[in-house]
Amino acid sequence: MAPISIDAAALLTSVQSIVPEIIVVATAIFVLLLDLAISEEKKHLLCGMGLLGIGVALFSVYALGQGRIEGFSGMIVHDGMGAFFDVVILSACALTFLMATGYSEWEGTHKGEFYSLILLSTSGMMFMAKGTDLMTVFLGLETLSIPIYVLVGFHRNRMSSLEGALKYFLLGAFASGFLLYGIALIYAVTGTTKIPVLATMLYDPRILASPLFLAGTGLLLVGFAFKVSLVPFHMWTPDAYEGAPTVVTAFMSAAVKAAAFAALIRVLLVALPGMQPVLWKVLWGLAVLTMTVGNLSALVQNNVKRLLAYSSIAHAGYILVGLVSGDVLGGQASLFYLLVYAFMNMGAFGVVMLIAQKEDEGYDIANLAGIGFKYPALGALLTLFLISLGGIPPTAGFVGKFYLFSAAVKNGYIWLAVIGVLNSAASIYYYLRMVVYMYMVTPDVEVAVPRPPRILFSMALCASAVVVVVLGIIPRSVLEIAERSVLSLLM
């Protein structure tokens, strides 16, 4: 047998296309080893090292730019879309680390594993967002999921944490199975798992009509729908979100959703545009169902974490609205909304984390009573994040929703936009209910004393607030980047 020749140039490009991921994985390993070497009181170093790694990775994304770099014979690609989601995911990861500085101290999660798992999960997300082969997407999904299962159950002495982790793990394992089976069926019909090649296959009407291919696409969608928690695949979300350590909940709601949507967008826009005439009905139904069930369930929640969990389900529905039409306008709106959502939702979780003080106890909505006037900064920040989640101007949440619904209208899905706007209006009730509790309800007992935030924690909250306000006033440049990202996908 002839020696296998390795093209040095191709190898270099391949490595280049995953530089940010390599940095994140290397940081994860370094943090794990550092944990063994340092003493108990120096554990905050772990968080610092993690942040440094994320910073370097972000810089490498910036240095790579939005140019298209294909690696590993078309398994992975660094393009505008990949770069955009790398930034979203790494930002969410950075916010998580900044918040973890305080959280770990209060709840005793200052452990190498904790940070290492978050970083490993982040690397999986980045691979998922950049995968141009269904196998890479699946591997990324697994790499992101397994550490998250562990992180949800990180408070292993609390029943709710374990319950959430077990539910998430069992349902997640099934969802992975669905996804993989879908990929297998698609491969059986088309003979390829490469996303761009699939698109060309769909010009063949025989493949489009094949029941095997339809079943495969359906299973693929179920797998993704589970990860972004679309109704009716959302059952795990409230329990997992409630049970998980709150930093992890924040991380999951922002980053996991972004990564899964990234892969979904790539599959829908690149591989399956030929399916759009059939698929839009499914997506339309999922979007309407997700928005409505998410919002209606959130209306009756009294636990803030559960409330935000249902609100995150509803938000997945809004984001899906942009994908129904399968065009650039909608995709761009979805990308923009995912970025905005990461910041506003993590910000909201951050403030709630400070007010709640203790896991399992302080998350009742009544605990917010009287916070607004006694702690004006916290009250103002939470109000800002909540009105942004509700979609009230001048926040980024409003701009995001505006573009999502206007994309739906421009593509002729008027009813979808109407249902979306009605849902958004209903959601304002439960967001403002929290604000009312903060400012207008006199507490029965004394006002809860929030934890004094660390400097890094405050930085995370301020950064989120700045992003929410700035993107609400001048969204143009980021929208343009989002548009270029989607266009880079379709090239």
Interface with other proteins (CB under 8 A): 1-4, 6, 11, 29, 32-33, 36
> Which is nearer to other proteins, 2 or 209 (by Cβ)?
2
Q: How far is the CB of 11 from other proteins (least distance, A)?
A: 7
Q: Spell out where 21-94 has E strands.
A: 69-71, 76-78
Instruction: Name every residue whose Cβ is closer than 8 Å to that of residue 285 and which is 6 or more positions away in sequence.
Output: none
The minimum distance between CB 32 and other proteins, in angstroms, equals: 6
- Is 11 or 490 the residue whose CB approaches other proteins more closely? 11
Nearer to other proteins, 166 or 380 (CB): 166
C-alpha span between 238 and 307 (Å, rounded): 8
Shortest reach from residue 184's CB to other proteins, in Å: 13
Q: Which residue's CB is nearer to other proteins, number 29 or number 440?
A: 29
CA distances from 348 to 221, 289, 345 (A): 29, 25, 5
Residue 112 or 453: the one with the smaller Cβ distance to other proteins is: 112
DSSP state, residue 76: E
**DSSP at 194:** B
Tell the smallest beta-carbon distance from residue 167 to other proteins (Å).
Answer: 21
Cα–Cα distance measured from residue 316 to residue 457, given in angstroms and rounded to the nearest whole number: 27
Please report how close the Cβ of residue 441 comes to other proteins at its closest, in angstroms. 47
**CB burial readout 408-421, b (16+ within 10 A) else e:** beebebeebbebbb
What is the DSSP code string of 398-467?
HHHHHHHHHHHHHTT-HHHHHHHHHHHHHHHHHHHHHHHHHHHPPPSSPPP-PPPPPHHHHHHHHHHHHH
Sequence-separated (6 or more) residues with CB below 8 Å from residue 307: 298, 301, 365, 430, 434
Nearer of residues 91 and 136 to other proteins, judged by Cβ: 136
Q: How far is the CB of 74 from other proteins (least distance, A)?
A: 19
Any idea what DSSP says for residue 271? I
Output 6 or 455, the one with its CB closest to other proteins.
Answer: 6
Pick from 370, 400, 395: nearest CA to 385: 395
Shortest spacing between CB 3 and other proteins, in angstroms: 5
- Identify residue 279 by its one-letter amino acid code: L
- Distance CA(317)–CA(315), nearest Å, equals 5
**Considering beta carbons, is residue 32 or 263 the nearer one to other proteins?**
32
Q: Output 210 or 357, the one with its CB closest to other proteins.
A: 210
State the Cα–Cα distance between residues 367 and 314, nearest whole angstrom: 24
Cβ of 347: how many Cβ atoms within 10 Å? 30
HSE of 123, CA atoms in CB hemisphere, 13 A: 22
Q: Peptide bond before 238: cis, by omega within 30 degrees of 0?
A: no
* Cβ-contact 299, 430 below 8 angstroms: yes
Least spacing, CB of residue 401 vs other proteins, in Å: 43
Q: What is the DSSP string of 339-369?
A: HHHHHHHHHHHHHHHHHH-STTTTTBGGGGT
Q: How far is the CB of 29 from other proteins (least distance, A)?
A: 5
CB of 490 to other proteins, least distance (A): 34
Shortest reach from residue 49's CB to other proteins, in Å? 15
- Residue closer to other proteins by CB (options 37, 455) is 37
Of 104 and 312, the one with the shorter C-beta distance to other proteins is 104
